[in-house]
């Protein structure tokens, strides 16, 4: 792969707002990740009654693989921030080779945040979504 091809891939990542790309071929493994353009100022909460995030509100990965927030053949995410999530609802897919394994919510609640970028390789027990009481 030439430097020009790598530069073109970086441009495509920026134009499509993707976080990264990974290319594997015999004798080649290329991983490109796009940096964050802005660094958000740390949020300071002054309320003494601010809810604490506990493990019980975190959805965690059931195994090792590539975390997908939408089916590869569809553009729509399985669960969007702000939506209600039921216990047992399909919220993500874990791609292991050619297999797509379902990742279901263990709790009901409202999806407060997605903690992992779609397409990221994750390990067992990594928090990837945070729920809040609905």
Domain boundaries, the chain: 3-33, 55-132
Q: Does residue 58 or residue 46 have the better pLDDT?
A: 58
Q: pLDDT by residue (tens digit) across 64-123?
A: 999 999 998 888 899 999 999 999 999 999 999 999 999 999 999 999 999 988 888 998
- What is the rounded distance in angstroms from the CA atom of residue 92 to the CA atom of residue 105? 9
Best CA proximity match to 68, nearest among 90, 43, 38: 90
- Mean of the per-residue pLDDT values of the chain: 80
Is the full-model pTM beyond 0.75? no
Q: Residue 17: its pLDDT value, please?
A: 67
Mean pLDDT of all residues in 37-54: 47
Q: Residue 23: its pLDDT value, please?
A: 74
Q: Residue 42: its pLDDT value, please?
A: 47
Q: Which CATH number fits domain 55-132: 3.30.56.10, 3.30.70.3280, 1.25.10.10, 2.40.50.100?
A: 2.40.50.100
In this predicted structure, the answer to whether residue 52 has a pLDDT above a threshold of 80 is no
CB atoms within 10 A of CB 62: 16
Q: Residue 95: its pLDDT value, please?
A: 92
Phi-psi region of 17 (alpha: psi -120 to 50; beta: other; left: phi over 0): left
Distances (CA, A) of 89 to 59, 80, 93: 12, 12, 12
Phi-psi region of 9 (alpha: psi -120 to 50; beta: other; left: phi over 0): alpha
Mean pLDDT of all residues in 3-29: 73
CB atoms within 10 A of CB 53: 14
Q: Does residue 9 or residue 107 have the better pLDDT?
A: 107
Torsions phi, psi for 103 (to 5 deg): -120, 115
Q: Residue 37: its pLDDT value, please?
A: 46
- List of residues 6+ apart from 39 with CB closer than 8 A: none
């Amino acid at each position: 792969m030439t430097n020009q091809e790598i530069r073109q891939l970086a441009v495509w990542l920026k134009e499509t707002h993707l976080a990264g790309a990974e290319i594997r071929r015999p004798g080649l493994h290329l991983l490109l990740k796009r940096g964050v353009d802005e660094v958000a100022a740390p949020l300071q909460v002054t309320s003494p009654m601010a809810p604490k995030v506990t493990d019980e509100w975190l959805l965690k990965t059931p195994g090792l693989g590539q975390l997908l927030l939408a089916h590869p053949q569809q553009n729509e995410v399985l669960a969007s921030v702000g939506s209600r999530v039921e216990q047992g609802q399909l919220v993500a897919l874990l791609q292991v080779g050619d297999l797509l394994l379902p990742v279901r919510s263990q709790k009901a609640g409202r999806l407060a945040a997605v903690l992992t970028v779609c397409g990221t390789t994750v390990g067992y027990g990594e928090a990837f979504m945070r729920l809040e009481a609905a």
